[in-house]
Amino acid sequence: MLRRTMAEFDIKGGLQNVWKRIDEVLLHRSQDIKTARPVLVAVSKTKPADAVIEAYQAGQRDFGENYVQELEEKSRHPDIVAQCPDIRWHFIGHMQSNKINKVLAVPNLYMIQTVDSQKLATKLDAAWSKVQPPKDEPLKVLIQINTSGEDVKSGIEPKEAPALFEFIKSNLKHLKLMGIMTIGAYGFDYSNGPNPDFVSLMQVHRSICEGNSLAPESVLVSMGMSNDYDRAIEMGSTVVRVGTSIFGYRAAKA
């Protein structure tokens, strides 16, 4: 018997399962939830270009990476450039100031999900205004919120998020603020009830929408990964970031 290698993981099947599950959850989701239909971001970190192309060919367009160097390499990979013209790259990793220009130079960069301070937002805004060739569109961003209060996690405190939202909206014309995101604590036990990270992010969503007179469906909410994207959608998530359920297990980073 041949051993099944990572490369042989059925990516198309994985994607189809996730798409199907998203539809199921939406069908049964409470009518009180007024957020938009979720976008699936396929998190391809540590996976080869071939895996991205396979998912793209199955119909997936949004992809997420959280290591800058890997995003740079994959987004410029000749096979991806040739075969995935409409790919949309989401940066979902911690953003260091000295890497901003590298990330902004990524071909088909679509959104940065991890803006967590006024300082970083201001630098991104300035850097985007200088990108060559000049862009006709502002850079799409989400504010990352540290809902779990863990020191190791990036993100702004939930109570400070509305002020950052208003700061970006009123001052940074080169950024298009699309919504908010959280990573949350790993391994929440759902027999204890709803995930407090999701509850917290939805509270921030509500206060931002109310404070700025915005329709709930106009402010994106990025929450939910392989083990809980369905629960996240039940609570109002509009962007789910799923890796393992699409691409199979990742080798641990050395």
Ligand X SMILES: *Cc1c(COP(=O)(O)O)cnc(C)c1O
Q: Which residue has the tokens 């919120």?
A: 145
Nearest distance, CB of residue 186 and ligand X, angstroms: 8
Given the rule CB under 6 A, which of 20-28, 76-84, 201-209, 240-248 is the region that contacts ligand X? 240-248
Residues 160-199 that bind ligand X (CB under 6 A): 183
Query: In this chain, which stretch among 9-17, 78-86, 126-134, 242-250 interacts with ligand X, using CB under 6 A?
Result: 242-250
What angle do the packed helices 161-171 and 196-211 form, to 10 degrees? 40
Does position 244 interact with ligand X (CB under 6 A)? The reply is yes
Residue 238 engages ligand X in binding (rule: CB under 6 A): no
- Interacting span for ligand X (CB under 6 A) from 116-124, 133-141, 156-164, 239-247: 239-247
Adjacent-strand bridge partners of 111: 90, 140
Work out whether 240 is an interface residue with ligand X (CB under 6 A).
no
From CA 196, how far away is CA 217, in angstroms rounded? Answer: 21
Distance separating alpha carbons of residues 130 and 132, to the nearest angstrom: 6
Q: For the chain, give the longest Cα–Cα distance.
A: 62
Looking at the Cβ atoms of 81 and 250, the one nearer to ligand X is: 250
Please write down the long-range contacts of 213-216, taking CB distance under 8 Å and 24 or more positions apart.
215/34, 216/34, 216/35
Residues of this chain that bind ligand X (CB under 6 A): 43, 45, 66, 92, 183, 225-226, 241-244
